[in-house]
Structure 1
Amino acid sequence: MTDITFTKGLVAFFVSLIFYPITLAIYNLYFHPLSSLPGPILWRAFQFPYLSSLLSGRLPYAIQSLHSQYGPVVRVAPNELSFIDPDAWKDIYSRKEFRRPPQWGSRPPGTEVHNLISAPVAEHTRFRRALAPAFSSQAVKAQEPLITSYVDTLIQKLRMKVEGQSNETVVDFVSWINFTTFDIISDLGWGTSFRGLEHQEYHPWITVILQFKAILIGSSIGYYPLLNALVPYVTPKSALAGLNLVFGMARENVQARLKMQTERPDVMSFMEKGDLTEEEIVSNSTVLIVAGSETLTTALVGTMHHLLENSDKLERLVKEVRGVFENEKDIDGQTTTKMTYLTAVLQEGMRLCPPIPDNLHREVPAPGAIIAGIWLPGGTAVGVPCYSMFRSDENFERAGEFIPERWLEGEGFVGDKKDVFHPFGVGPSGCMGQPLAWVEMRMILARLLWNFDFKIPEGRKLGRWTDQDILWAWDKVPLNVGICLAARRKLEMLH
């Protein structure tokens, strides 16, 4: 009798395994509150197609294609919608109660305190209150000498590469910009840099922290509660060792900086005055260092990639940079704000290569809300994918082309919906570091073009930017550029 009961139970178990997906698909397609909204049938029925595309590094490209097919709102998973309707920016990101879904705001294993990404509303507000003054225009102006010192080092190291060379020197633009942005933000955040420019190699901390696919795997597992409960028990020792390196070094640097008796106007000087514990400073400073480096690297590398593809745009920008300044020392955070074409080039670079190309996930709070004219129940995941929004033909004329002139008055493109362009996000969770980012981007690009000529290396082809995977951030391949001293710099060297 026991054997018969066991057999029946086993049969019932396997039958349930067969019919559960079918039942789930029927519910998601016909009875789910989002069932009336458009999207591909498999994506509406199951979470797996979305996650498969995410982990393959092709999700933003796939979602752009879906928007082209289905319109401004697409159901990209059973409980998730993607919007490229301009109203979605305000409807989603202007409200504090719209927080990241649990899968996208979790803390790493073994981490007890929150940070700007994972924090609930009250703690997030407290963190921003403590950190925002560090990125005010006044604070950034005081930080500019430190920024300038690293840009000086970048120029000096590149000069050493090219001086005395009869032909162009080939360098990986990605690495050099990454060394620069990480050195700047780590010094501002921790009072010490990674010394990437000095050693011309990545610090182990950076190598670990840029493993974005591991983060995506963790977020994907978060969609399945039973699997997620097992994460602490199945996380490889190597992954835990990486986390220990990241937070151990962050803690050591924070403690060393807090012990300094200094008046440096860095980010830490504001964090230590805020209402933050030491562990909260460690966690938030780690987030700021990643956000303040990798995103700027994407913006500058993407911009240079498209300048190399469009030599007429590069020539126009070079003429502006070298025409405005007679002396390199005059290139600073203030003077570069007046360079309209430089700003337009960077805007267009971030439009085609947004620093955060993926969906900026948020969850509709209970009892529900209206997004772009559609009422949605609480718990629905929503977001604006910058890559799709900025490349939509509904929002920009000739959307797939690199045309900095669209950002200049009197150059046409009056039909462009420039109010949809928010590469740093908007609202209570928008990037606080925009003033710092703009100073760095303008200074670095202007100084590079004042000193050097850039071109596609002889005998090589430039790959397509969109051949790169997107694993939350762009999984950037090396951008090998030919570089030599600008004509005016060669004359100075002769004299």
Structure 2
Amino acid sequence: MHSESISLWAVVLGLIRSLIFVSQLNHLYFNQHEPQSAILPFVLLVIEPPVLLVVFDTPSSFSGARLLYTYAIFLSSLSLSMILYRISPFHPLAEYPGPLISKATRLWDLWKAYGGRKYLYHRRLHEKYGPYVRTGPNEISVTDIDAVAQILRNGGLNKGRYYERVRQDYIPPSIIHALGEVHTAKRRVWNRALNPTAMHDYEPLIAKRATQFVSCLKRRGTVDLGCWIDMLTFDIMGDVTFGGGFEMLREGRDANGVGERIRAFLTVGNLLAQIPWIMKPVGLIHHVGQAVNEFDKFAQDLAIERAKNGAAAGKDLWYYIADESDLEQVKPTLQIAAADSLVAVIAASDTTAYTLTSAIWLLLSNPECYQCVQQEIDSVIANGDDPFDANKHRQLYYLSGCINETLRLHPALPSNGGTRQVRLEQPGRFIAGRYIAPGTSVSVATHSIHRNPDYFSQPDRFLPERWLPDSKLEKHEPSAFIPFSLGPANCAGQKFAMREMFGVLCVLFKSFEMKFADGFDGEEWPGSIKEIFIVARGPLMVTLTPRNHQHQVQATVGTVNNSDSTV
């Protein structure tokens, strides 16, 4: 009996040793061979423990408890091995400082992303640890502007695996996901679609919707101005991209739930992007896959309608993206053109709406800046002039400073919209004198850069005059201003967005006196901002009073030096 017990314990110890050994083999293999999806690792982790249990079977009967213990030992050993390696001095990123929990697991950043405040958390990390912070087992965040330029510009790091994995295989790659030559070809088309000649065709569409926007607001006293700006930008991009189809301003609401569907899709995508290897298996879940399919079908339906009806007036964005002029060697399919066109709607509606809403909030929070903007617009754009005249916009220096300051304080993509990576199969890279090991993902912390006191004096204050030629502020580093990113993957529509923002703000200030609605606490509004890849925000309640144009003040704007709002 005693010998049988010894034999049983020997078998159990052999099983434990084997479980630990095999778990270490798993760690070693996947550390050197990055999985493209969680499916293979998941299958192996499910199969290996019971296989080992069968191999080391003891005379006692097979039981659920024994299987549970086997899984516990195997997974505990694997997890402990991974964590110890990640926090050890032997890890390739051991020299980069950061919280211990971030070094140990990516799930901590996932939790911060879930709350929509990851960009604020990363800023606190940079303030504590410096310009290079380890934010995950194989991730670093960077705020050093020399490094940022080398990462994002030509010859920098490639887009990370994130861009490949957040898309299901059956969905055509858009310009967001495209890499290498495919991205270059798509960008050539986008540059053609957004050159000055092409944008001239879009200006009447912007003016038409902005006029409708003002007309709608005049019938209402107090409104959620952010909501109405959302509807305006969606209608504009619906016209510019698909020849119309949304009509949110006419309905006074998002009747088809376009914005809601887009934000729900981006919220899920943003969370899965924190652990992108899980995207494909999660896509197999019925409800998730159904949501992705419905979103894809939404884009396809818009594309089919535009292809059937043609442009509303002149050449629209679809004309270029679908290559209706037959300039490309390979004409895109309807599905590919639809994917890129929907990117245009998402990228140019929510981001522009957030910037416009933030600009209004900042100006209402700083009455002296509000007065300067209004006076400048009145002095440059006389009654009866076209508020969408780009030549007039070039004379609005203070308004330009306000827009830039808004983009600095509230960048539309606080985390720069994605990562770069040194692929595991590539050699390591030196960036600004720092070694980046193979397999490392690198993110550019735009929000943290824009609020870095090393680059901007009084970085948390709204000071539009910092952008004027006679600014007296000590620190002002234009190279640290990257609201549209840098390099070959920068925002293709930045000039269009600026043209739209100038026009909308001009027509708003010419048409209305604005103030926070009674009972609305403007100071609390920034607390409603959440990053979901783009930015979601709460209501901005504003009272609008139509202006009496016969009594507009015509004055030259002076420099404001007494803005004291901290944002």
TM-score by length of 2: 0.80
Percent pairwise identity: 26
SS at match of 1:81: strand
The secondary structure found in structure 2 opposite 1:423 is coil
Structure number with greater CO (CA < 8 Å, separation at least 6) is 1
The reply to whether residue 175 of structure 1 matches residue 175 of structure 2 is no
Shift of the alpha carbon at 1:315? 0.9
* 1:346 Cα deviation after fit: 0.5
Shift, 1:479, TM fit? 0.5
- Aligned in 2, Cα 1:369/1:452: closer, same or farther, shift over 3 Å? same
Matching of residue 257 in structure 1 with residue 306 in structure 2:
yes
Distance in 2 separating the partners of 1:229 and 1:409: 51
Cα distance in 2 for residues equivalent to 1:64 and 1:415: 19
Give the counterpart letter for 1:339 in structure 2.
L
Using the TM superposition, give the Cα deviation of residue 200 of structure 1 relative to its aligned residue in structure 2, in angstroms.
1.1
CA deviations on 1:138-164 (whole Å, 9 max, x unpaired) are: 211222111111111111111222xxx
Q: Name the aligned partner's letter for residue 262 of structure 2.
A: I
Q: 1:452·1:483 contact (CA, 8 Å) conserved in 2?
A: yes
Runs of 4+ in 1 over 6 A off after TM superposition: 4-9
CA change 1:19–1:241 in 2 (3 A) is closer
Spell out the pairing of 1:56-455 with structure 2 (5 A cutoff). Answer: 56-95=115-154, 98-109=157-168, 111-161=170-220, 169-202=221-254, 203-211=256-264, 212-224=266-278, 228-236=279-287, 239-260=288-309, 264-273=314-323, 274=328, 275-332=331-388, 333-359=390-416, 360-365=418-423, 366-455=426-515
Q: Is 1:37 the equivalent of 2:89?
A: no
Kindly state the Cα deviation for residue 25 of structure 1 after the two structures are TM-superposed. 1.7
State the 1:70 CA deviation. 0.4
CA distance in structure 1 between the partners assigned to 2:235 and 2:489 by the alignment: 25
Contact 1:205/1:245 (8 A) holds in 2 = no
- Deviation of the 1:126 alpha carbon: 1.5
1:143–1:467 CA distance, 2 compared to 1 (3 A)? closer
The structure-2 alpha-carbon separation of the partners of 1:467 and 1:279, relative to structure 1 and needing over 3 Å to count, comes to closer
* More off after superposition, 310-319 vs 245-254: 245-254
**2:359 and 2:406 in contact (8 A); partners too:** yes
Contact 1:328–1:450 at 8 Å: present in 2 too? no
- Residue 106 of structure 2 contacts residue 275 of structure 2 at CA under 8 Å; is this kept in 1? no
Question: Are 2:15 and 1:15 equivalent residues in the alignment?
Answer: no
Change (3 A) 1:458 1:234: same
Q: Deviations over 1:423-473 (max 9, x none)?
A: 011111111101110110000001100110111122332114144222222
- The answer to whether the 8 A contact 1:115-1:283 is kept is yes
- Is the CA contact (8 Å cut-off) linking 1:396 and 1:416 kept in structure 2? yes
CA contact (8 A) 1:177 1:297 kept: yes
Q: 2-side partners of 1:14 and 1:489: how far apart?
A: 79
SS in 2 for 1:320: helix
Q: What one-letter code is carried by the residue in structure 1 that aligns with 2:83?
A: A
Equivalent residues of 2:159, 2:179 under 8 A apart: no
Letter in 1 for 2:223: V
Give 1:241 shift.
4.4
1:46: Cα distance to partner? 1.5
* Residues 256 and 213 of structure 1, relative CA distance in 2, 3 Å threshold: closer
Aligned residue for 1:378, secondary structure, equals coil
Q: d(CA) in 2 for partners of 1:154 and 1:23?
A: 59
Match of 2:529 among 441, 462, 468: 468
The answer for unaligned runs of 5 or more in structure 1 is 162-168
Question: Do the aligned residues in 1 keep the contact of 2:98 with 2:125 (CA within 8 Å)?
Answer: yes
Structure 2: tracts of 5 or more residues without a match: 1-57, 553-567
SS in 2 for 1:127: helix
1:486 aligned onto 2:540: no
Residue 321 of structure 2 contacts residue 340 of structure 2 at CA under 8 Å; is this kept in 1? no
Counterpart position of 1:52: 111
- After TM superposition, give the deviation of residue 421 of structure 1 in Å: 0.5
| 2:157–2:421 contact (8 Å) kept in structure 1 | yes
CA distance in 2, matches of 1:261, 1:304: 36
Assess, with a 3 A threshold, how the Cα gap between structure 1 residues 2 and 231 changes in structure 2: closer, same or farther: farther
The CA deviation at 1:478 is 0.6
CA apart distance, 1:93: 1.0
Letter in 2 for 1:213: T
Cα deviation, residue 475, structure 1: 1.8
Query: Structure 1 residue 120: deviation in Å?
Result: 2.4
What is the deviation of 1:105? Answer: 4.0
Larger Rg: 2
